[in-house]
Structure formats: C-alpha cells, structure tokens
C-alpha cells in the first residue's frame, strides 16, 4: 500500500470558538483508506490477458497499461495496472477468471485452468507489488508488507463442467469464490439473464453450494436469478457474496438485486459489492442499452447479407446516441440505498473494471476509488462505515466462510457420478 499518497484537506471555517472543526470529507475518506485499503470483489484483467495477448506475458508491463489501446481498431487501453492501483488505494483484489458461457463445458474447464494459470504467473512476476492469497490472514499480511493481496474468483458455474471433483481441484489451485452462473443458465442453476429452466437451483445445484461451503469457497450470487439467490439463501452455511451487482430499486436490470432479496442477504450476513457499469447503475443507461439492442436487430433485418453495411449503420447510430455515463453520485446512490436498507455491514465494491466497455464517468479506472469515498463522506458516511465498505466487510465474510470450513473439516467430500 502506498502511504505517500495524501489528500490535502481544505481550510476549515470556524463556526464557534468552542466547537471543534468538522473534518473535511476528503480527510475522512483518506483516513478510512489509510486504515483499510480497498478490497475490490471483481476485476477482469485475466480476460484482457486472454483477449489481447492470448495469455502470453512476454513483453507485457503491468506497472503501466495506459498504452495498451489501439484507436485504429477501436480497442481502448486497459483500466488496471499496478501504478493506478496504488493511486486508487487498492490493497486487495479478486481477479475474475471468466470464460465464455458459450463454450462447451470441457473447453470451459480448460480455459478456466488457463486463466488461473496466467493470473498466478502475472502475480509471481511482481513479487514486490503483489502477493497470491487464499485467506483473510494472508490479505492482511500482504497489506502490512506493502503488497496488493491477489485472490482468484471464478465467474460462472460452467467452469466446473458439472463435476464436484473439478470444483475441488479449482479450489486447490486457489479459487476462493465461484459465481454460480454467467449470462446463461447452467444445467443446475438459473441465470438472471436467461429464460428460467429450473426455478432456481436443482438438487445437484444445492450439492454444488454445499460443497463450496464445506471447502470454504464463497458462493457468489452475481448474475444468478432471484430464484437461485433465494434457494442459496435457504441453505445452511456461511454468508454469501454478490461480487458485482447493484440495487434493483434504483435500476431495474435483471442483474441487480431486489429489496426483498437484499434483506435476506443482510439477514444471512452477506455482502453486496456495487458495480460501475452504467446499464447496471443508471436507469437511463439501461434504457439506452435496450434501445441499442433493438437497433442491432432492426439493422440486421434491414441489411441481411450485407454485414459491412450493418456495421457502418450501427457505428453511425452509436455516434449519434452515446451511452449515458452518469457520475460518481449514481454509484453512491446504490451504496446509500443498500446501506440504509440492510446496514453498512453489508456493502462492498466490485467495479467490474476491465470487464466492461464503459464505466460511470469519474470511475474510469482503478485509480478512482478515493473520489467515490469522498462523495460518500460528503453524504455523511462515517470513517467507520467507509472502512467497512473498503475492506472490513469482505474480510468478515471471508473469515466466516473459513470458519465454517474449519468446523466441517471432518465432513466427507460430496460426490457425483462422472458423465464420460
């Protein structure tokens, strides 16, 4: 953690000689981030390494990735690097080993192994800056050593190929959470963005969740349907996490969490980590996204057999209709809503950086977290609550999962029959 980065508070105006001066919001935010650096729940650097570099690290400089874009191809620079993580006061990161849910499951398993491998290789290349961690104790030790604690999260249950044995091996390689679905259903759990197939979890899906609990692997409810969330929340076990989703009361996207389910998550001691992608944050951006999808379908129908015409027409539409990006205040609204509804003990940050093509304005990359903390401090968030948001809540959830696994260490692994 870089302790040389300071925020200089503005001069105070004395209201009364006997009253102590109020702390400036930037000072409150700075104090919170000094005490507990940001522990972000979801960053897609592994996906960028795969898409941009085919997982080849030779010649890649993670100290500074601002030159990784290519304007001629419409490729923006990456949002994450070590220098900007230091500026953003990031002390711990769950790196998402996402692979496409369109892959056949055997290929998804291989691709996930490759993503774990490339991220572990990247961490090992920067021993002065990063430390591979699998538990809360390591995270705190990493901070004390001035390194960024680096953990692995799997995004999508297709990555285990319907096998509890594969799940256990992913855990052995260091994966410490798994998002149960991505944008498509699995054979055992419903996604938020697919037509329901199971009304939540199947019996095998329940077995997956129970085996994750036994292992001490966090169950991530981002991307899953409300029915799947409720099924998970009825099972005995440690608190769940939602690694990168928002409040549906503010934005009606299916990826967001309803107030009723938020209350259940709070009752179970879980954490909801707020996302920075405009269509999940702002209702206007969600409506824009729906309009763009409709335009894509219209242009495809109009220009059948002429993909170059279709592409040019969509580019013209995009230029005339830019996505609304909102502001930091829009993200703060989600955090305010969740904290008021279920308490500041249940909020976190999962920016989804390098996993989206646009962010809320002002949260453009990993250097921008302090600005969000200052906004929340201006709204009256205390230093103690900001510390919960930054790291303390995530550490608590991890410790409870680790404690549950320790208490059940004598339990036999759950089994399922092999399929080929």
So which residues are the catalytic ones? 42, 44, 155, 182, 223, 244, 352
Give the integer Cα–Cα distance in Å for 253 and 31: 34
Question: Which region holds residue 112: left if phi is over 0, alpha if psi is between -120 and 50, else beta?
Answer: alpha
> In Å, how far from its chain's centre is CA 88?
16
Give me Rg for the CA atoms of the chain: 22
Question: Which region holds residue 141: left if phi is over 0, alpha if psi is between -120 and 50, else beta?
Answer: alpha
What is the SS3 string spanning the chain?
A: CCCCCCCCCCCCCCCCCCCCCCCCHHHHHHHHHHHCCEEEEEECHHHHHHHHHCCCCCCCCCCCCCCCCEHHHCECCCCCCHHHHHHCCEEEEEEEEECCCCCCHHHHHHHHHHHHHHHHHHHHHCCCCEEECCCHHHHHHHHHCCCEEEEEEEECHHHHCCCHHHHHHHHHCCEEEEECCCCCCCCCECECCCCCCCCCECHHHHHHHHHHHHHCCEEECCCECHHHHHHHHHCCCCCCEECCCCECCCCCCCCCECHHHHHHHHHCCCEEEECCCHHHHCHHHHHHHHHHHHHHHHHHHHCCCCHHHHHHHHHHHHHHCCCCCCCHHHHHHHHHHHHHHHCHHHEEECCCECCCCCCCCCCCCCCCHHHHHHHHHHCCCCHHHHHHHHHHHHHHHHHHHHHHHHHCCCCCCCCCCCCC
CA atoms within 13 A on the CB side of 372: 35
What number of other Cβ atoms are within 10 A of residue 183's Cβ? 14
The two structure tokens encoding residue 148:
């960024």
């Amino acid at each position: 953690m870089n302790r040389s980065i300071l925020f200089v508070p503005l001069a105070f105006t004395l209201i009364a000689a006997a009253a102590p001066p109020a702390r400036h919001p930037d000072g409150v935010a700075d104090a919170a981030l000094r005490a507990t650096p940001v522990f972000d729940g979801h960053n897609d650097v592994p996906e960028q390494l795969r898409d941009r570099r085919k997982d080849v690290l030779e010649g890649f400089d993670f100290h500074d990735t601002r030159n990784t874009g290519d304007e001629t191809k419409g490729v923006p620079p990456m949002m994450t690097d070590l220098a900007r993580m230091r500026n953003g006061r990031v002390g711990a990161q769950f790196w998402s080993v996402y692979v496409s849910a369109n892959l056949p499951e055997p290929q998804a398993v291989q691709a996930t192994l490759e993503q774990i491998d490339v991220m572990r290789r990247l961490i090992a290349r920067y021993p002065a800056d990063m430390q591979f961690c699998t538990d809360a104790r390591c995270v705190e030790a990493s901070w004390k050593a001035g390194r960024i604690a680096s953990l692995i999260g799997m995004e999508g249950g297709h990555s285990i190929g319907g096998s509890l044995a594969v799940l256990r091996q992913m855990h052995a390689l260091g994966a410490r959470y798994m998002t149960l679905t991505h944008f498509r259903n699995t054979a055992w759990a419903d996604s938020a963005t697919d037509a329901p197939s199971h009304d939540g979890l199947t019996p095998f899906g329940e077995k997956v969740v129970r085996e994750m609990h036994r292992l001490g692997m966090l169950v991530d409810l981002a991307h899953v349907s409300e029915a799947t969330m409720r099924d998970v929340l009825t099972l005995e076990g440690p608190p769940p996490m939602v690694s990168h989703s928002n409040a549906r009361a503010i934005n009606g996207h299916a990826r967001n969490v309803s107030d009723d389910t938020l209350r259940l998550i709070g009752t179970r001691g879980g954490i909801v980590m707020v996302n920075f992608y405009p269509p999940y944050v702002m209702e206007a951006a969600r409506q824009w996204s729906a309009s763009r999808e409709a335009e894509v379908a219209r242009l495809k129908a109009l220009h059948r057999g002429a993909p170059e015409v279709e592409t040019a027409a969509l580019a013209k539409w995009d230029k005339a209709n830019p996505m609304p990006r909102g502001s930091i205040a829009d993200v703060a609204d989600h955090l305010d809503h969740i904290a008021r509804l279920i308490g500041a003990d249940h909020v976190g940050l999962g920016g989804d950086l390098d996993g989206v093509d646009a962010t809320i304005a002002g949260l453009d990359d990993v250097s921008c977290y302090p600005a969000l903390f200052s906004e929340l401090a201006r709204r009256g968030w205390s230093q103690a609550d900001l510390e919960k948001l930054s790291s303390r809540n995530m550490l608590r959830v991890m410790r409870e999962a680790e404690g549950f696994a320790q208490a059940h260490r004598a339990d036999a692994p759950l089994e399922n029959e092999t399929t080929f």
